[in-house]
A and B are shown apart, each in its own frame.
Chain A
Amino acid sequence: MDITALFNMMPGAAAQGLIWGIMAIGVYLTYKILDVADLTVDGTMCTGGAVFIMLTMAGVPMPLALLGSFLAGMLAGLATGFFHTVCGIPAILAGILTQLALYSVNLRIMGQANQPISFRNYDLLVSSRNVKSLSLENPILIGVIFAAVIIALLYWFFGTELGCSLRATGANANMARAQGINTNVAKVLGLMLSNGLVALSSALLAQYQGFADVNMGRGAIVIGLAAVIIGEVLFSKIFHNFALLLLSVVIGSVLYYVVYNVVIWLGLNTDDMKLITALIVALFLSIPYWKGKYFSKSAKKGAASHA
């Protein structure tokens, strides 16, 4: 095995990890702050790219196309929020419904299952061909800038009165309502913000890889969770500040793609990657449960021996 080949793969892994890191931040907002597992993101992870490409091909300037992707993602979040709060559908199911609906919507947006876009004809922000160039167009640099700006904005937002009401809703909805917070509005807002970020990430990813595909978001929620969990496992002891927690999610995402590329380099079948990811996420999600079980058992034993 050629170690230089592995090194050559690392810049790409970093760029992909950073772009997916923005997506993982979106997952963090719903999963960690709102305490909702939002499966909409599997659909939104294509919608953002699809909207970006179609807008760009229609001659919309790149920054506006990015904004359009963000808004499209927010709309998807709004749909899930509507199903959940107005229709009373459990959050997971509401997300699945929107995700399914988005499959059709994404096909409608693109007009076909796969929509390529070339940097030769259009003004794109990131492209995988620049991943090793030492220029301002390097997608790693752009990914870092995007992640930093988004983390800064979220840090500010979750310190505001409105942001605090979102946190309170996720932490204890009963308490939030007793303090006059409309928890339904807070949930919808959180879902919109999260899906907006996911769509933005999707728009960057579509540019990076040069196409949007109707299947590009499949399993996105699990990759997002993996990034959140990797970040938590590695940094929860040292990072307490909210901005640093978000940073740990981005780092988690980069590490996920580093591992992903190592798997490729080892010659393992990348078709198995989703299986491996799912198992790893399942393992980490079950640790707190097992821990709780173990500790409560030992507590009972202790009580019995004192009796």
Chain B
Amino acid sequence: MLEIKGVCKTFNAGTVNEKRALNHLTLTLNDGDFVTVIGGNGAGKSTMLNAVAGVFPVDEGTITIDGVDVTRLPEHKRASYIGRVFQDPMMGTAATMQIEENLALAARRGKRRGLRVGITGKERAEYRELLKILDLGLEDRLTSKVGLLSGGQRQALTLLMASLVRPKLLLLDEHTAALDPKTAAKVLDTTEKIVHRDNLTTLMITHNMKDAIAHGNRLVMMYDGHIVLDIAGEEKKRLTVEDLLEQFTKASGEEFSSDRALLS
């Protein structure tokens, strides 16, 4: 479904701040894979997701989604294949627009936007039903501005928007990192629900090793801009956090550098 082949990306090339974020990164996702991504700070996790989403052009390599080479497609065109939820709850929704307007925008992802009415009465009824699965009471607040919602509510809404038009690929960039533990668990729960309901091919970055082990059918670890560990199936189910830390040291020759990952 997703094929990343030999992708390189260097930021600020030729300056003192030069940073090789992706270093011949290669990763293939099969249809229906739910892959969790872990790695230390600066390993290139977010850069990988942004490269796939087309936020910036890559220096080398190709990215293919469902057989289509998207390497040179601009971000808004790739959006027809991709659903995204960001780390920052502010980033995935338009705060000054209503809940139903945000959903209506998402419902038109990958479609031509013309002079038809931006949201129909039929849609409103559908959204009311859809919002119920979030179990946050948002179904009664369709016309509230999204800016009035909490971070957790916004992330849940963004998740719903990302899956409103079934994406070929769902990209979750530490989408629970900015939330309190209880809310994070709930959003993660909703994520599972939606991913399984629609059998979505998913790439989920998390800083929480327990979450990385508990969710998905496959786990990859990044270090220095590429994949150093790729565990799937039965082997993944038996993983422990200690295993992962040991594997990390083996793969990178250094201690795992993210305090957040150890503490959580």
Contact of A180 among B110, B117, B118 (CB under 8 A): B110
Q: How large is the interface on B (under 10, 10 to 19, 20 to 34, 35 or more residues)?
A: 20 to 34
Q: Which residues of the partner chain B approach A172 to less than 8 Å between Cβ atoms?
A: 90-91, 93-95
Contact of B118 among A159, A179, A181 (CB under 8 A): A159
In the complex, the 5 A-B pairs of residues with the closest C-beta atoms, listed nearest first = A180-B79, A171-B94, A164-B118, A161-B113, A180-B109
Q: Which residues of the partner chain B approach A161 to less than 8 Å between Cβ atoms?
A: 108, 113-118
> A168 at interface (Cβ–Cβ under 8 A)?
yes
24 residue pairs of the A-B complex, CB under 8 angstroms, read A159-B118, A160-B118, A161-B113, A161-B114, A161-B116, A161-B118, A162-B114, A165-B105, A167-B97, A168-B97, A174-B86, A176-B76, A177-B76, A178-B79, A178-B82, A178-B92, A179-B79, A179-B106, A180-B76, A180-B80, A180-B111, A182-B74, A182-B76, A183-B76
Q: Which residues of the partner chain A approach B80 to less than 8 Å between Cβ atoms?
A: 180
Chain B residue at minimal CB-CB distance from A165: B113
Q: Is the CB of A163 within 8 A of B95?
A: no
Nearest Cβ on chain B to A178's Cβ, whole angstroms:
5
Per-residue A-contact encoding for B72-89, CB less than 8 Å = 1, 0 else = 001111011010101000
Find residues 106-163 in chain B having any chain A CB closer than 8 Å to their own CB: 106, 108-111, 113-119, 161
Report the interface size for chain A: residues with CB under 8 A from the other chain: 22
> B104 at interface (Cβ–Cβ under 8 A)?
yes
> B101 at interface (Cβ–Cβ under 8 A)?
yes
Q: Which residues of the partner chain A approach B93 to less than 8 Å between Cβ atoms?
A: 172, 175
Q: Which residues of the partner chain B approach A182 to less than 8 Å between Cβ atoms?
A: 74, 76
Docked pose: A163 CA to B115 CA in angstroms: 8
Find residues 146-166 in chain A having any chain B CB closer than 8 Å to their own CB: 157, 159-165
Docked pose: A159 CA to B114 CA in angstroms: 11
Chain A residue at minimal CB-CB distance from B171: A178
Q: Is the CB of B97 within 8 A of A160?
A: no
Q: Which residues of the partner chain A approach B118 to less than 8 Å between Cβ atoms?
A: 159-161, 163-164
Q: Is the CB of A181 within 8 A of B76?
A: yes
Q: Which residues of the partner chain A approach B203 to less than 8 Å between Cβ atoms?
A: none
> B187 at interface (Cβ–Cβ under 8 A)?
no
